[in-house]
Amino acid sequence: MKKSGRLFSNVLVLGIGSVISKITVFFMLPLYTACLSPAAFGTVDILTNTAVLLLPFVSLCAPEAVFRFLAGGKGEREVLAVGNKLLIRGMILLLFILPVLSLFDILRPYIFYLFCYVMASVIHSYLAHILRARGQYGLYSVQQLFCTGVTVALAFLFLPVLNLGVRGYLMAIFLADIVTALILSFYLRLDHEEKTSAEQDTKLFRSMLRYAIPLIPTATLWWALAVFDHYLLLAYHGESVTGLYAAAGKLPALLTFAASIFLEAWHFAVIHEKEEKRGELFGRIYSALLPVLILFVVTLIIGSRFLVERIFAADFGEAALYVPLLSVAALFSALSSFLGSVYVVKLRSGSSLITALVGAAVNMALDFWWIPSRGAVGAMAATLVSYVTIFIWRSVHCRRVMPFCQHAGKLTVSTLALLVSAVLTMMGHTLLSLAVAALALAPFWHEIIDSILILIVYGKKIFHISTKRENRS
């Protein structure tokens, strides 16, 4: 119960900063779609997704390795010494990659901006992971809010005022990362001023390298799952269709974002849990998480048309057709990520790589099959099938690695209801879709009650603590 309370508190702290940041960026979409045409938005999508592809190679997954080993109790001085060496090697690698990228027409005009984007993002991520590993979630949330605030301010300057278009969009992001990273580096340097002269521990270096190396192709495969279809859409159907599809994906991304907030705190909590109690903790948290995510998907499906019309510019109205099924795909992406935390705890990054490889192979095969003839609809279907494949694979494998109750029967019933509801929404039958969507939550009525009771219990605790502090002051 104590672990659950700490997890809930960490999620709450992370959630406040992350949700405010994400909502702020989300409500910047009207500005982006007003200042950028669908074609320009498609170019931005290709550039940012290319940067995401580069991140694991440039960082050599040092941020993830540093977090796992620091949170797991290894010496901070030694872990950071290894992490710094990995990071420097990765940054040198970027200098050899850039000339290759400049061969592509869509990337060539923005190579310098892409370089700055990747470098700033890697450094910021590395420093932020150190804060997470130390459990400094309050400071982690504050720096996230600060970075978002700077991004928003610069976006308003560069887009509507200076009319810098795609370059302005990229500059707002990487300049905010640079400013935030500088502040974090100053804070961490002061905190570790006497701890930076430790010699490299060869055994630790090898352990971190073994953990980090499989994460690089894994991250690449997850990138392929998320955005490979964007590149094929660009090749077969042009920038406008790619822009519409990319815009549609912003709404389901809210679900995966919400799940990522939880997972950031969850990894820290479960790594610190005793080995013999981890299975029980996994089962309890997974049971509470399922109905919450399903409710989120139901909301996105039913409200897809309304949200697109209220948030995006008029040119992006067609994006509403793609939101429902992409939302179901996002559900299985989030659930797969939760199951992937079993591999994080067990230091089995190789298993994570295998499951990602299977999903990416399915996704790419279906993309080549469906996108040329079916366009964005084919991309959407391929994405859904690939995430479901990864989830099923991980679900079966995790029962051997760390058994816990996964509610397979209930989830199957809910998934079928969600798929029918999504298709009905795409056909314009909103009321019938709402009725079917309600059935998706029915199998989890018991878990919903338990989740509500947990929120009430910890809500009372937080209120009690706050009242005590007020009385003391």
Using one digit for the tens of pLDDT, what is the confidence trace for 195-229?
444 444 677 778 888 888 888 888 888 777 877 88
Closest to 364 in 3D by CA, of 350, 388, 383, 351: 383
The overall pTM is greater than 0.75: no
Q: How much is the pLDDT for 27?
A: 65
At residue 340, does pLDDT exceed 80?
yes
Q: Span 17-42, mean pLDDT? A: 69
**Segment among 143-147, 149-153, 159-163, 355-359 with least mean pLDDT:** 159-163
Q: How much is the pLDDT for 46?
A: 81
At residue 192, does pLDDT exceed 50?
no
Residue 471 within any structural domain of the chain: no
Percent of the chain at pLDDT > 70 equals 80
Q: How much is the pLDDT for 341?
A: 80
Q: How much is the pLDDT for 267?
A: 65
What would the pLDDT profile of 51-89 be if each residue is shown by its tens digit? 888 888 888 888 888 887 877 667 677 788 778 888 888
Closest to 4 in 3D by CA, of 464, 453, 467, 343: 453
Q: How much is the pLDDT for 196?
A: 41
At residue 425, does pLDDT exceed 80?
yes
Q: Which structure tokens are listed for 434?
A: 């709402």
**Burial (0-12, 13-18, 19+ Cβ within 10 Å), 397:** middle
CA angle (407 as vertex; 401, 411 as ends), nearest 5 = 120
Residue 470 within any structural domain of the chain: no
Residue 467 within any structural domain of the chain: no
Phi-psi region of 409 (alpha: psi -120 to 50; beta: other; left: phi over 0): alpha
For residue 13, name the pLDDT band (cuts at 50, 70, 90). Answer: low
Q: What is each CA distance from 53 to 90, 94, 101, 374, 417, in whole angstroms?
A: 13, 12, 12, 26, 34
Higher per-residue confidence, 192 vs 377: 377
Q: How much is the pLDDT for 366?
A: 93
Q: How much is the pLDDT for 16?
A: 57
For residue 472, name the pLDDT band (cuts at 50, 70, 90). Answer: very low
The dihedral formed by the CA atoms of 77, 78, 84 and 89, expressed in degrees to the nearest 10: 170
Task: Please tell me the distance from the alpha carbon of residue 110 to that of residue 168, in angstroms, as a whole number.
Answer: 11
At residue 321, does pLDDT exceed 60?
yes
Residue 396 within any structural domain of the chain: yes
For residue 22, name the pLDDT band (cuts at 50, 70, 90). Answer: low
At residue 3, does pLDDT exceed 70?
no
Closest to 65 in 3D by CA, of 172, 190, 209, 173: 209
At residue 471, does pLDDT exceed 50?
no
pLDDT, mean over the chain: 79
What would the pLDDT profile of 119-146 be if each residue is shown by its tens digit? 999 999 889 888 877 777 678 778 888 8
Residue 36 within any structural domain of the chain: yes
Residue 355 within any structural domain of the chain: yes
Residue 257 within any structural domain of the chain: yes
Percent of the chain at pLDDT > 90 equals 14
Q: How much is the pLDDT for 195?
A: 46
What would the pLDDT profile of 379-403 be if each residue is shown by its tens digit? 999 999 999 999 999 988 888 878 7
What SS3 string covers the chain?
CHHHHHHHHHHHHHHHHHHHHHHHHHCCHHHHHHHCCHHHHHHHHHHHHHHHHHHHHHHCCHHHHHHHHHHCCCCHHHHHHHHHHHHHHHHHHHHHHHHHHCCCCCCHHHHHHHHHHHHHHHHHHHHHHHHHHCCCHHHHHHHHHHHHHHHHHHHHHHHHHCCCHHHHHHHHHHHHHHHHHHHHHHHHHHHCCCCCCCCCCHHHHHHHHHHHHHHHHHHHHHHHHHHHHHHHHHHHHHHHHHHHHHHHHCCCHHHHHHHHHHHHHHHHHHHCCCHHHHHHHHHHHHHHHHHHHHHHHHHHHHCHHHHHHHHCCHHHHHHHHCHHHHHHHHHHHHHHHHHHHHHHHCCCHHHHHHHHHHHHHHHHHHHHHHHHHHCHHHHHHHHHHHHHHHHHHHHHHHHHHCCCCCCHHHHHHHHHHHHHHHHHHHCCCHHHHHHHHHHHHHHHHHHHHHHHHHHHHHHHHHHHHHHHHHHHC
Count of structural domains within the chain: 1
At residue 103, does pLDDT exceed 50?
yes
Structural domain span for residue 432: 2-458
Closest to 305 in 3D by CA, of 420, 414, 439, 427: 427
Residue 21 within any structural domain of the chain: yes
Task: Please tell me the distance from the alpha carbon of residue 340 to that of residue 353, in angstroms, as a whole number.
Answer: 10
Are residues 302 and 434 in contact, defined by beta-carbon separation less than 8 angstroms?
A: yes
Are residues 71 and 271 in contact, defined by beta-carbon separation less than 8 angstroms?
A: yes
For residue 179, name the pLDDT band (cuts at 50, 70, 90). Answer: very high
Q: How much is the pLDDT for 469?
A: 42
